[in-house]
Amino acid sequence: MRKYLFIFLFMQTSFAAQASINSTSDQLISVNAHKMQRDLDKSLEKIRDIRQETYSDGYNDAESLAVESEGNDQSIELLEGELTKVLARPDIDHARNNLSNTIRNELKNYSAFEPVLARIAGRAVGKVKNQGLPLIERITALEILDNILAEYRPESKTNAKVKTIFTQIYKADIQIDEDLKDQRALLLMIERASPSENARIILGLEKKSSGWFW
């Protein structure tokens, strides 16, 4: 019975979680903090439902453990979508820290914070470097990377896994082409260095002599 309840919950929530991860960039940039908080509250409520329906409650049989594991995966997916949304928008209302801390604490219940952050960063790097994507998607990806560097900078000094993520952003050698630079300045009214350059500074690395940043 528990297995069928989980399948029903999975079907209800999987599309919502995937939509959060793959939401269009303009929606992510424009969403306000109050809506983000409401969305996060809804996801946390779904996670509580998943836990209630899938928790093995001390049963060690293979089916109970498999259902609990699948429930954990679904909860992580929901949280990954919410963290992506938080990191995809400019922090003009200073809501990023509070929201991201709530999500990080939830992810740590599954030992999933660093793997999720690495996936978000990896997707963002890929989008920024893909010149075939619409500029708005690449601008949002830049915002994600900038927010990762700003939000988790202190942890890059004490957490080896977070430092590895910063190192990967640095090694991605992201260069901001003129179209991307101009459209970002027009949309967000900001002009920043490449996330790779910012990561280099945070990591305390020497600048490459080839001069590939500007």
User: pLDDT tens track of the chain, all 214 residues?
Assistant: 444 443 334 334 343 444 444 444 444 555 677 888 898 999 999 998 888 887 756 666 777 778 788 888 999 999 999 999 999 988 888 889 999 999 999 999 999 999 999 999 999 999 999 999 999 999 999 999 999 999 999 999 999 999 999 999 999 999 999 999 998 888 888 788 999 999 999 999 988 655 444 3
* Structure confidence at residue 116 (pLDDT): 97
* HSE-CB of 41 using CA atoms within 13 angstroms: 6
pTM here is 0.80
Burial of 3 (0-12, 13-18, 19+ CB in 10 A): middle
- What are the residues whose beta carbons fall under 8 Å from the beta carbon of 148, sequence distance 6 or more? 87, 117, 120, 121, 124, 165, 169
Q: Provide the token pair at 52.
A: 């209630």
* pLDDT given for residue 208 in this prediction: 67
> What pLDDT sits at residue 54?
76
Helix (H) or strand (E) holding 9: helix 2-21
- Identify the CA nearest to 47 among candidates 22, 3, 23, 80: 80
Q: What is the pLDDT of residue 67?
A: 77
Per-residue pLDDT at 19? 45
Q: What is the pLDDT, as a whole number, of residue 105?
A: 94
Question: Residues 32-45, buried b or exposed e (16+ Cβ, 10 A)?
Answer: ebeebeebbeebbe
- What pLDDT score does 153 carry? 96
Q: Is residue 188 a contact partner of residue 90, using CB atoms and an 8 Å limit?
A: yes
User: Residue 64: CB partners within 8 Å, gap ≥ 6?
Assistant: 2, 56, 57
What does the pLDDT read at residue 170? Answer: 97
What Rg do the C-alpha atoms of the chain give, in angstroms?
19
